[in-house]
Chain A
């Protein structure tokens, strides 16, 4: 990547380095020589600062407290009572170090720390703004992040792949570029369209600047940066870098292929189809009584006596919900044929009575594009009715027509319940060949899945399952990782207004910070992002290493060495211990390993100190910024929910994949988010796997300062409110978890109330209760219920705070 590329312009002179501390070259500071410190250099730096400030460090935390702290910090889950016992009883001086290593090696670690990074990059799985529709394939990026932390890929590579993973064999990583809001509402108004596009690119520029460089490059959109030396043309140099990046899905690789399974599937499917053809009654549009299965949102077959046609008409007269009908695909087969003859790629033209407006998911061309599901479907613009007509390039013989509302089985509404299918050799000479008149009745308002009965239904169901699996195995993997197009020219916009373009701008880095680059104006798209990625991660760029080392510190201790983690610029805070930050940054730059940094930090004496208050120290340093104690803090929403599930013994620890939804399915074109009344076990996964909608907070844990992903969240707030208290005290979810915890305790501890109480405290707090608390707990269990005790335990401060 570093070879001289033809489109790089002659190198510019490096501008004079601005004097701000973080822009200075990164040099490894000498480790202070301090007596009585161990071997960890982190402590040498901290000790020097404590001495300077006249602060006396706290003694080490108890083993149980330390263990809990480490578990929550590194994996976001509590230790089991067995793990506590084992650690406390392990006499080896290496016990703690071993534990740090094993937690860093746990796949749970990437889930915990991946969530932190997802905050920084405003990741969510919906588009935001008015329509705020779901992004079904955005999760690939989330998985990439988790995997990257688990695999400890070098930090430079971590940055590069997010900017240009498509060029580096890691195509899901560019989900970073398009993780932000995207306004789906499109218009013929050119001013609006230009502003929307400018906002999209602004989002990419801003987040790239603040996530990797801790620099608010986005502030130079309308004018030179007010505080940092970022000039307005430099902003547009970055804009030229991203000019070809568009929101959307792209193929990130071939289907996961297992030829063996594929062949078996195909054979089984063929057999099922043969059987079906044998058993299946022909459509009988003249019938008035049910002869065939009720219509099914997931798929319907219309077997007809062989007929010749050039035109097909699918007319809908009513739907189950009264809303505009939806069809995801119409397929047509010759008698005994296996090949879909209705595909647009075969020259078949589709027309319709009307088309749903304003949604990219629902378009006429989806009716015969060979792709299934609500996301590739047609909806009419007429309540309860509408028609589709297909014109074949020549006359064909037809024996079977299939159609569905949503072959992926997620949507049950908009289902045609009164319909007819006609064929013709000429337009408007229709002959009805199939209709709903011989279908078994369906509850017209019924949105519940259709329950089909009998051998035929079984067979049909089996066929659908096989087809679905086959489809999954054969379709390429798609991810919301952006599309990369040939970039149009970039202009500097006067005052940031796209209607006031000034001079043309070439893709370029900032002219300072590290050795700058400028490409020719028409440089290839991918090369632009590669160039920027190389510039950001250059060894002589002092910012990325300082920024990431500081972020890691921030998440371990609750506050960074610089407490404005995404702004190390002039307007940000000053480092509280710059030599320490620089030393850590050098470690990160030279080793690339994030886990090595975690290890250094967790093994420091500072990290292992007791969190207790001490008056003298507190007077001098109330916030414990200099780390005379470990600063206690409230857990974030995700570890609270995860821990509830873990204690209840119901946490589903599946790693990665499609997320779970905490809202009801909804097909309105402006997505409506109604929380699930009673989220079931399919939602009992770690919260990082929630298919998190933008701007729409979870009804229970949203009150615990979950970011809304509208803007980046480099630092979470930590609020305490009555609504929060009510959510955990009264929500059905929290109470169900208390109940399940009680049930688990009864199973594991047996009927003895005392044993139950002891186990409850060991599980919830990794310790045994004090005598008076034990007595009170026993009384509660004996007079009321273990459930009541569990409810109190999961609402108490000790449950919610890392000490």
Chain B
């Protein structure tokens, strides 16, 4: 059938630009530019490269634009804005000037209002690993893996509000309604795993992150590239028929197959009908595979212990640990993109996530043990199993926090002007640190980076040109990186 979304985004919609896109046919740019009669587009990069998607198998693996360094991605997303100053961005000057006003910006109004004095990190920093990277005691287990990490200390975000900023970190845009990073990646590359969703989002045990499904919604991309959210508490819905129904699974399935077969005989050559039949077969496989991947009974007691998956004293940590274990098992099965969330929507002052405005010490003392051991165990486990060789890990958050405490409070306000994320695994230098904030950790000053740059780099490592991976929507050739972004060459291994 003609009406499949993949081909309808193909040349008919954009005749000249896709011509440009596949312009390996000897026509020079100048000749093209003159063909385009006065429309100034010779400056354009060489056009979109749209993945050739088989409508019967939208998730089949596809070739990247060039040789990739990584084949899979694990994103660990700390919702609520994890303070870089209390974790990975060591600032001796901030410790020295504890209690003094922030120079030059004493009247500064940030998200929640006025700010008080500079406040030293609430946890001690110590050198870790062979590299002696200074990280704090808040996340000691992650800190101990510092030799495997490539820190980006000069990140900046466009918004200082959780909703738009989380949107930007996961979709490239501060507005609602753009596809998640994982949607773009699976749109481009499909998946190596036939019987599980290509893009899995693993929400925190406490609930979905602050902009909820925006992180994994396919928005204007076809729903085939939507992330499937599930975690170790809540499996993929509808894997089994509801109980207590007067239906026979096998016979009704046979009937369905007969109906589809007869219908296809009457409508030969229609690929969308074939696609639906294929999807049904795939669904059958997924019913089994999804249950297997969530079954930890064969994991060794040692593994479970390392993750903290049975920690009775901290049930939230145990549940997050099981999500971490699920992430590893999904990556092992070849799932292309796994986005693991730590922290949920706001459910009270700093309760659900890393949003430490008022009582940062107490709040982070609760959150850190949930994250630290399980996430560190996950990364270590990936490394031990050799999965880090082709998996890129991105540990991210939507923005940073202020070096000051808020006026009249014991916590830090939002700060999009400087924060830290780290990458690990396939294709990136480690141990390595890139970029820097000012001596107080307030603003990125050395090699400032945008979220566009981060996205461009992640796509680059996957063998994708962020300027050419696009999808036509409502008059615009949309990209994950909008019209911005530069691959951070300095950090590539």
Contact = CB atoms under 8 A, between A and B. Distances in A.
Given A730-B241, A785-B247, A634 B474 contact: no
A705 interface: yes
A276 interface: no
The 4 closest A-B pairs by CB, nearest first: A710-B177, A567-B475, A130-B163, A711-B177
Contact of A613 (B213, B236, B240, B269): B269
A129 B277 CA distance: 37
Contact of A632 (B113, B242, B267): B267
Contact of A787 (B114, B162, B247, B273): B247
Nearest to B253: A792
21 contacts: A129-B167, A181-B176, A187-B161, A192-B160, A563-B12, A623-B3, A623-B8, A668-B346, A668-B347, A695-B211, A708-B217, A710-B178, A710-B217, A711-B176, A711-B178, A720-B272, A720-B276, A725-B280, A736-B242, A788-B255, A791-B256
B161 A634 contact: no
A353 interface: no
A375 B12 CA distance: 49
B346 A718 contact: no
Contact of B175 (A710, A720, A789): A710
Contacts of A787: 245-247
Interface string A609-633: 0011101001000111100000111
Interface in A712-744: 712-727, 729-732, 735-736, 738-739
A21 to B, nearest CB: 13
A409 interface: no
Interface string A82-119: 00000000000000000000000000000000000000
A131 interface: yes
Given A718-B4, A801-B272, 7 more contacts: A187-B113, A189-B110, A612-B267, A695-B211, A725-B283, A726-B286, A730-B239
Contacts of A798: 259, 263
A573 interface: yes
B240 A777 contact: no
Interface in A406-460: none
Interface string A302-331: 000000000000000000000000000000
A564 B273 contact: no
Contacts of A668: 345-347
A697 interface: yes
B248 A695 contact: no
B272 A564 contact: no
B69 to A, nearest CB: 29
Nearest to A324: B348
A696 interface: yes
A78 to B, nearest CB: 16
A181 B162 CA distance: 15
Most buried by A among B166, B236, B256, B266: B256
B270 interface: yes
Nearest to B158: A195
B212 A132 contact: yes
Interface stretch (A134-142, A462-470, A515-523, A669-677): A669-677
A264 interface: no
A219 interface: yes
Contacts of B15: 573-574
Given A570-B39, A573-B14, A719-B224, A725 B279 contact: yes
Given A721-B223, A729-B283, A183 B217 contact: no
Contact of A189 (B109, B166, B177, B247): B109
Contacts of A801: 1, 272-273
Contacts of B247: 735, 738, 784-785, 787-788, 791
Nearest to A130: B163
A803 B197 CA distance: 30
A709 interface: yes
B441 interface: no
A570 B15 CA distance: 12
B192 interface: no
B260 A796 contact: yes
Contact of B219 (A203, A711, A731, A803): A711
B116 interface: no
A135 to B, nearest CB: 14
B58 interface: yes
Interface string B118-158: 00000000000000000000000000000000000000000
A671 B328 CA distance: 31
A795 interface: yes
B221 A717 contact: yes
A735 B176 CA distance: 33
A571 interface: yes
B310 interface: no
A185 B248 contact: no
Nearest to A669: B346
Contacts of A784: 246-248, 251-252
A694 interface: yes
A721 B162 CA distance: 32
A719 B264 CA distance: 18
A377 interface: no
B111 interface: yes
B346 to A, nearest CB: 5
A564 to B, nearest CB: 6
A726 B161 contact: no
Given A122-B177, A623-B7, A796-B263, A717 B1 contact: no
B162 A130 contact: yes
B12 A210 contact: no
A792 B255 contact: yes
Given A129-B176, A705-B222, A797 B260 contact: yes
Contacts of B7: 623
B242 to A, nearest CB: 4
Contacts of A611: 267
Contacts of B286: 722-723, 726
A723 B197 contact: yes
B296 interface: no
Contacts of A800: 276
Nearest to A633: B3
A712 B473 CA distance: 9
Contacts of A122: 177
A735 B475 contact: no
B463 interface: no
A773 B223 contact: no
Given A631-B3, A720-B224, A695 B214 contact: yes
B112 interface: yes
Nearest to A786: B246
A534 interface: no
B259 A780 contact: no
B11 to A, nearest CB: 9
A358 B110 CA distance: 16
B3 A634 contact: yes
A695 B246 contact: no
A6 interface: no
Contacts of B237: 699, 726-727, 731
B83 interface: no
Given A694-B176, A735-B241, A770-B262, A672 B207 contact: yes
Given A130-B163, A719-B58, A216 B474 contact: yes
A199 B224 CA distance: 29
B220 interface: yes
Contacts of A796: 256, 259-260, 263
A558 interface: yes
Given A729-B283, A797-B273, A800-B276, A130 B210 contact: yes
B13 A623 contact: no
B472 interface: yes
Given A613-B269, A711-B474, A727-B238, A632 B1 contact: yes
A705 B114 CA distance: 45
Nearest to B13: A573
A681 interface: no
A285 interface: no
A791 B245 CA distance: 11
